[in-house]
């Protein structure tokens, strides 16, 4: 077992504004960091425990591999072109932050809180987002292979996707009553998708049980378990056989 990392002082982080580099794996514990402005700095996979980062601006910085522990709070901060790749964001409260053109590939959000945050043209790919802890957030640009997930009781997702393209995005155990759907015309907003699917299942049950009907029935049963959904029709037509895709569109969208 490796020894614990030595604790770094706040002054070391402030000096990074001049040196443009922190020692690798610098560890900050219980620090209140306010008004920090870093531009083009490499932070070397820092660790933050029980810290508060407030009203700070980071531009063009490398924060890849950063780790937040023990409910670190990031409040009213602006991140522009920041590299967050392979970061551990799970134990963090992000409040009123703006992320502009940041890279979150291989990062996890599962157990963090996102309150009143804005994500503009960020690379958020193949990850889970905490639906139960996402409130008042706005997303612009493309979200790809992202899963908004709530455990236990269905959660009300509060998010504005109006300027967003949802590319293979799913909503698991999420109510979408407070969602603003994408304006992009390939999307269809269906907060009542379960009721639509159940009505379609009743109609399909009277049809001959051929192979296509069996596939359609399986798909409709899955949609009947959702609290709500936003369908990207291009995605649907890509993953399903043409006849099944069009039957689903008729059953869920056009009726």
pLDDT digits over 39-80, tens only?
999 998 999 999 999 999 999 999 999 999 888 999 999 999
pLDDT at 12 (0 to 100): 73
Does position 167 have pLDDT exceeding 50, yes or no?
Answer: yes
pLDDT at 29 (0 to 100): 92
Query: What percentage of the chain carries pLDDT values higher than 70?
Result: 92
Confidence of residue 7 (pLDDT cuts 50, 70, 90): low
Element (H, E) at 187: strand 187-190
Query: What percentage of the chain carries pLDDT values higher than 90?
Result: 78
Confidence of residue 255 (pLDDT cuts 50, 70, 90): low
Other CB atoms within 10 Å distance of the CB of residue 90: 16
Which one-letter DSSP state was computed for residue 131?
G
Does position 164 have pLDDT exceeding 70, yes or no?
Answer: yes
Confidence of residue 3 (pLDDT cuts 50, 70, 90): very low
pTM of the model: 0.90
Does position 168 have pLDDT exceeding 70, yes or no?
Answer: yes
Does position 25 have pLDDT exceeding 50, yes or no?
Answer: yes
Q: Mean pLDDT across the chain, nearest whole number?
A: 91
For residues 142, 255, 244, 184, the Cα torsion angle rounded to the nearest 10 degrees is -20
Residue bearing tokens 């109006």 = 162
pLDDT at 208 (0 to 100): 67
pLDDT at 1 (0 to 100): 45
Question: Taking residues 202-211, what's their average pLDDT?
Answer: 77
pLDDT one-digit tens code per residue, 84-139: 999 988 889 999 999 999 999 999 887 899 999 999 999 999 999 999 999 999 99
């Amino acid at each position: 077992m490796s020894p614990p990392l030595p604790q770094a002082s706040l002054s070391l982080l402030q000096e990074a504004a001049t040196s443009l580099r922190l020692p690798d794996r610098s560890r900050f514990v219980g620090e209140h960091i306010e008004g920090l402005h870093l531009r083009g700095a490499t932070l070397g996979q820092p660790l933050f425990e029980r810290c508060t980062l407030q009203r700070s601006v980071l531009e063009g910085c490398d924060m890849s591999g950063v780790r937040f522990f023990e409910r670190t709070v990031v409040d009213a901060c602006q991140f522009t072109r920041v590299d967050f790749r392979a970061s551990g964001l799970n134990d963090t409260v992000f409040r009123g932050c703006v992320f502009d053109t940041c890279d979150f590939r291989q990062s996890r959000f599962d157990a963090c809180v996102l309150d009143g945050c804005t994500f503009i043209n960020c690379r958020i790919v193949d990850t889970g987002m905490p639906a139960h802890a996402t409130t008042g957030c706005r997303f612009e640009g493309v979200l790809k292979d992202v899963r908004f997930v709530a455990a236990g009781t269905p959660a009300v997702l509060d998010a504005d996707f109006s300027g967003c393209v949802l590319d293979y995005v799913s909503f698991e155990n999420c109510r979408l009553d407070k969602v603003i759907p994408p304006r992009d015309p390939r999307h269809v907003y269906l907060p009542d998708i379960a009721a639509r699917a159940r009505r379609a299942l009743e109609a399909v049950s009277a049809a001959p049980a051929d192979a296509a009907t069996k596939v359609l029935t399986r798909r409709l049963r899955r949609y009947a378990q959702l609290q709500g959904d936003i369908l990207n029709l291009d995605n649907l037509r890509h993953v399903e056989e043409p006849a099944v895709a069009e039957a689903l569109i008729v059953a869920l969208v056009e009726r």
